[in-house]
């Protein structure tokens, strides 16, 4: 019997194993237009934490007792729709389970790029699109800009670093711990701040960017956002992508440098990558080009087996991943 | 001997009378190109607090022992420049003093509008321009938008209310105390929140704007900004104009609803009105039109005599003014 992860209870603060339960799902025979997919790779992403709360947001909350959703790559094993045939590799949102039965309209064949299929859950998927659109469109970063990106060793942040370097920017990344920092440096970052050992973050950032920053790509919120405000140059643009800092505990953000918004005419713009879904062709074109030029590298942190999903997800909030966090089914 | 106010000491926290000293200024005979102005009206504005700190900002700090600067309207009494003659009424930045000697290039003749000269320090001056550009350009507010403005009884806020109504917007203002709230209501605001007695500001704002807000014009920061984040509608625009909340104490801003920036794609944009100085003609054209249509009213809180300058200035931070705070010399 296919299995899927459901929420057993809405997490209070940090998610714990007991918040999740593995259930049997009787997917049954296919109706016309449906496709059966054997999932090979499952994604865990920080935004999923928001869906675990019973709060109206830009995506509806997960229902208790129902299979959760999330990005997945799998192989078609049975099709009742002419657009798909057994053996097709597809991308879809029926993750958190080993087998998905979905209408054909909710499946996408993997674009023809010379990369591993699981990359379409990371650098060539939603996290990569987040990096690309956030940096180039929301923050309008351009050649010559000085860019600061937090969580620079993560799936989104590491792609921001590489796109920024490919486009001729100066890049400062932050990450936690020597190994992650070394990896960010190896991606081409001009400076890397280990936020776990740097002491005052505004001071460390000021030292790394003596002339200030033009762009901040925020994956973290909190003290990183405050440090970015502290060193923002005139007309700086902040792309506000994630605030992993507050996803679990809902605590208030304390900003000491917020008034610099005014003097420096800073623009802070929140965004959601799904608003850019219709522009996939531009993304694949540019990313494919940088890939061909050898300008893109990626790292994966892989957990094995459907049973490991909760552990992989919880690891996102404890710094457990370098690059994209994935589960291989 | 002409007199001018100087900083005797940089204020720590709230400014106090001993931070200011009245000094004699020997303005001497005019050099070619200079003009002598007898000041009639002096402006006090919240932004001046920033210049009292020894901190690099968008305007340089006031120097200890030197006359301070600020907006002023006066009458030319002697001119060594062909562009000005005795009797001309002029606008300039040589305030905080009873007589100013300035190069002709730093004087502006009052525009030909049927209003009192001191209005060019308020609704038809820098505060009015701040309201106009902040609302219509920075926040891109349009007919049909729901607009929240804090400090709505102040010189900037009261003009925001009236421009927004003239342009067909729904307006919610906040002010402190029944008298100010009544005045804001009389300007046409659709709802007014007395922040001193409303209890939870996010709740009060949510009740006043059940569908959320499209625009927030921020004169205050702190809890008002947080409440605006709490009720921001998708694609809301915040014009960040002032944070009187932190000018004196430099405390951190606590934001509980900052993560809504992301889900609601909020844009927060800091701005400085001086960036718009070259576009004065547009401002005077539209404001003159609304004035002629009877859509603009203003209130002044007037202190008399140069000696009253520090008292007037300090009153800005204790809710001492309705409308524009002025000193009549």
Over residues B271-318, the pLDDT tens digits come to 999 999 999 999 999 999 999 999 999 999 999 999 999 999 999 988
Q: Which one-letter DSSP state was computed for residue B156?
A: H
Beta bridge partners of residue B327, listed in sequence order: B42, B303
B144-162 pLDDT, tens digit each: 999 999 999 999 999 999 9
Token digits of residue A168: 């001729």
Cβ burial of B105 (10 Å; 0-12, 13-18, 19+) is: exposed
Collect the ranges in chain A with pLDDT lower than 70.
57-58, 245-249
Chain A CA closest to residue B245: A259
Q: Between chains, do B261 and A272 touch, taking CB under 8 Å as contact?
A: no
Task: Return the pLDDT at B248.
Answer: 66
Beta bridge partners of residue A326, listed in sequence order: A43, A302
A228 near A207, Cβ under 8 Å? Answer: no
CB-nearest partner of B259 from A246, A266, A275? A246
- The CA angle B51-B52-B58, to the nearest 5 degrees, is 15
Q: Between chains, do A259 and B221 touch, taking CB under 8 Å as contact?
A: yes
Q: Between chains, do A259 and B246 touch, taking CB under 8 Å as contact?
A: yes
CATH 3.90.180.10 fits A3-122+299-328, yes or no: yes
A300-304 and B99-103: which strand pairing? unpaired
All residues of chain A having their beta carbon less than 8 Å from the beta carbon of residue B253 are 254-256, 258
Distance from CA of B77 to the nearest CA of A (A): 36
Q: Name the pLDDT band for B243 (thresholds 50, 70, 90).
A: confident
Distance from the Cα of residue A102 to its chain's centroid: 24
Question: Reduced to 3 DSSP states, what percent helix, strand and coil does chain A have, rounded to the nearest 5?
Answer: 30, 30, 40
Q: Which one-letter DSSP state was computed for residue A296?
A: -
Distance from the Cα of residue B222 to its chain's centroid: 18
- The CA angle A287-A290-A292, to the nearest 5 degrees, is 110
Residue limits of CATH 3.90.180.10 in chain A:
3-122+299-328
Calculate the alpha carbon distances from A58 to A49, A50, A54, A107, B145 in Å.
13, 9, 12, 21, 21
Report the distance separating Cα A238 and Cα A236, nearest Å: 7
Report the distance separating Cα A219 and Cα A157, nearest Å: 8
Q: Name the pLDDT band for B245 (thresholds 50, 70, 90).
A: low
Report the distance separating Cα A214 and Cα B316, nearest Å: 34
Stated pTM of the model: 0.91
A249-298 pLDDT, tens digit each: 678 999 999 999 999 999 999 999 999 999 999 999 999 999 999 999 99
Distance from the Cα of residue A108 to its chain's centroid: 19
Give the dihedral of Cα atoms A43, A47, A51, A52; nearest 10 deg. Answer: 80
Assign residue B271 a region: left if phi > 0, alpha if psi is -120 to 50, beta otherwise?
beta
Distance from CA of B6 to the nearest CA of A (A): 24
A94 near A72, Cβ under 8 Å? Answer: yes
B174-195 pLDDT, tens digit each: 999 999 999 999 999 999 999 9
- The CA angle B216-B259-B261, to the nearest 5 degrees, is 40
Among A142, A195, A252, A44, smallest CA distance to B258 is for A252
Task: Return the pLDDT at B251.
Answer: 81
User: What's the CATH fold of domain B126-274?
Assistant: Rossmann fold (3.40.50)
Chain A CA closest to residue B50: A263
B154 contact partners, CB below 8 Å, separation of at least 6: B127, B219, B321, B323
All residues of chain A having their beta carbon less than 8 Å from the beta carbon of residue B57 are 263
Beta bridge partners of residue B161, listed in sequence order: none
Calculate the alpha carbon distances from B67 to A42, A104, B36, B216 in Å.
68, 75, 16, 36
- At residue B60, does pLDDT exceed 90? no
All residues of chain A having their beta carbon less than 8 Å from the beta carbon of residue B270 are 260-267
Residue limits of CATH 3.40.50.720 in chain B:
126-274
Task: Return the pLDDT at B320.
Answer: 82
Report the distance separating Cα B260 and Cα A271, nearest Å: 10
CB-nearest partner of B255 from A252, A260, A269? A252
Report the distance separating Cα B259 and Cα A47, nearest Å: 12
Contacts across the A-B interface (CB distance below 8 Å):
95
Chain B CA closest to residue A260: B270
B92 near B108, Cβ under 8 Å? Answer: yes
Task: Return the pLDDT at B249.
Answer: 67
A218 near A192, Cβ under 8 Å? Answer: no
Among A230, A228, A253, smallest CA distance to A243 is for A253
Distance from CA of B233 to the nearest CA of A (A): 11
Report the distance separating Cα A312 and Cα A329, nearest Å: 13
Chain B CA closest to residue A269: B267
| Percent of chain B at pLDDT exceeding 90 | 89
Q: Name the pLDDT band for B246 (thresholds 50, 70, 90).
A: low
């Amino acid at each position: 019997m296919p299995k899927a992860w459901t929420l057993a209870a809405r997490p209070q603060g940090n998610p714990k194993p007991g918040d999740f339960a593995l259930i049997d799902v009787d997917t049954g025979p296919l109706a016309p237009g449906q496709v059966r997919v054997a999932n090979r790779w499952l994604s865990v992403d920080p935004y999923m934490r928001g869906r675990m709360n019973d709060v109206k947001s830009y995506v509806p909350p997960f229902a208790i007792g129902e299979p959760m959703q999330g990005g997945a790559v799998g192989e078609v094993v049975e099709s009742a729709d002419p657009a798909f045939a057994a053996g097709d590799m597809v991308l879809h949102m029926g993750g958190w389970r080993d087998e998905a039965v979905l209408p054909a309209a909710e499946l996408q064949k993997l674009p023809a790029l010379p990369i591993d299929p699981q990359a379409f859950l990371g650098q060539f998927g939603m996290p990569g699109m987040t990096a690309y659109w956030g940096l180039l469109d929301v923050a309008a970063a351009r050649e010559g800009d000085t860019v600061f990106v937090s969580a620079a060793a993560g799936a989104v942040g590491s792609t921001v670093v590489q796109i920024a370097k490919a486009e001729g920017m100066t890049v400062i990344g932050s990450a936690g711990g020597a190994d992650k920092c070394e990896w960010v440096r190896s991606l081409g970052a001009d400076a890397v701040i280990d936020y776990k050992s740097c002491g005052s973050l505004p001071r460390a950032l000021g030292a790394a960017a003596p002339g200030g920053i033009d762009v901040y790509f925020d994956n973290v919120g909190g003290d990183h956002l405050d440090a970015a405000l502290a060193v923002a140059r005139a007309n700086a643009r902040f792309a506000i992508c994630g605030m992993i800092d507050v996803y679990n505990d809902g605590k208030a953000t304390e900003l000491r440098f917020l008034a610099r918004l005014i003097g420096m005419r800073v623009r802070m713009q929140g965004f959601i990558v799904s608003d850019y879904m219709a522009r996939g062709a531009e993304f694949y074109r540019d990313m494919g080009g940088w890939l061909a030029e050898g300008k893109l590298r990626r790292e994966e942190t892989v957990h094995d087996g459907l049973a490991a999903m909760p552990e992989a997800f919880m690891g996102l909030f404890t710094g457990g991943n370098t690059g994209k966090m994935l589960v291989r089914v």
